[in-house]
Every structure is written in C-alpha cells, then in structure tokens.
Amino acid sequence: MNKYSHVIWDWNGTLFNDVQLCVEIINELLASRKMKQISVDYYKEIFTFPVKKYYEIAGFDFTKEDFSEVGKEWMDIYEERKLEARLFDDVLPTMSRLKSSGIKQYLLSAYSLQNLENMIERFELNRFVEKVKGLDNIYAESKLQLGLELLEELDLNGAKALLIGDTLHDYETAKAMNVDCALVARGHQAKNVLLKNAGVNVYDSLEELRKDLF
C-alpha cells in the first residue's frame, strides 16, 4: 500500500523542463543592458524566491529600473518561446503510474493560473491532475498562500500528502502546509543547494523518486 494518497506537483523545473529556456531569456535581458551573461550552473546556484532577489544577484539594479517592467519583459519573451521546452521524459509515466495506483494529483505553481491551465491542457495532463493552483499575476512572488488555500480545499481526512518540487521554496511551502516534501535536483536550483538547505530526500529524477516512495 502506498504511503501517500495525495501528490502535489510543482510545475516549472519539476514537470516542465524549462531551465535552459529561462537562462537564455535572462541572458537576453542582461545583454540588452550590456551586463555579464550567466551560465546554467550559476543560474541554479543563485535562483531563489521571490525571483526579484535572484534578478538582483544576476546584476539588475532596481533603483535604476522597475522590477515590474523587467519581470513583464522576461515573461513576454517566455510566453513567446515556452513551447520550445517540453515535459521531462519521466513525467507522463510517473503521473500515469500514480493515477493507476489511486493517488490523487494536484498542481501548485508560482506561474500564472491562466497560462498554467493552458499548458496543462496542451500537454494533456488534465487526465491526471484534479486541481490546479496558480498565481493571479506574472511576478512569481510566492506560493505559500496558494498552498494553504489548496490545503483548505482538499479533504485529506488525515491522509498523507507529498509535495514534489525542485526548489527550496517548494520545501518551505510544504512545511507551511504541514505535508511531506521530496525534491528533484534537475530543475531551477542546484543539487548542492537543495541538499544543504532542505531536510528532505533529494532525487535526480522522478523515476528514482517513484521507485523509492511509491
């Protein structure tokens, strides 16, 4: 029998393999300001929530320009190019396996809700996902409140829930929700960052996670 009856998925970097695309876009913005480009490895070391802080570490000076404008510039490019990215190869087999085991699945993301719902439909994940929670804006500030709202909406009845993500913010969200957490170290934060700062299991793939936990 499975330990968990509910799984709460993060989207970007957990199910959706968009790290390379995100780095290309931030480098486009940096180049337009004649600032130093960053590597994928460095991006994974500095990425954090709220994303405004990560932008500042990357070199943006929000005393000289408005974060909301930079955030919109980034998101406009992302929305134009997002379909260049794909799901990780083990996403569909994993979600299908969980569904066949009777595990209910949900999506919780700092991505805007409307865009998230469109992507879920495009990749036909609505056959697995029972509820989607996303932000009502594009600035990826936090999903702590969304997580608490989702928890209120779910009838867990003492059942065990697991949040699966790729960042420390997912870990923080799981703690706030008082649910278990597992992290996959192939998304937006480096494995060493996750291992150092999160007291939960860190996996290299969903396949590895599934074999261990389900």
CA distance 43 to 190: 9
Which residues share a beta bridge with 17?
A: 86
| pLDDT tens readout for residues 135-149 | 875 444 568 888 988
pTM to 2 decimal places: 0.95
β-pairing, 161-165 vs 202-203, is: unpaired
Helix or strand or coil: residue 184?
A: strand
Give the residue from 105, 114, 108 showing the smallest Cα distance to 146.
108
Is the pLDDT confidence value at 157 over 70?
no
Q: What's the pLDDT at 181? A: 97
The confidence band for 110, taking pLDDT boundaries of 50, 70 and 90, is: confident
Joined together, the tokens standing for residue 11 give: 């989207």
| pLDDT tens readout for residues 45-88 | 999 988 899 999 999 999 999 999 999 999 999 999 999 999 99
Backbone φ and ψ for 138, nearest 5 degrees, come out as -105, 10
CA distance 171 to 194: 9
Strands (E), the chain: 6-9, 16-17, 86-87, 104-112, 129-135, 161-165, 180-184, 202-203
Alpha helices in 51-129 (DSSP H): 51-58, 67-81, 91-100, 113-122
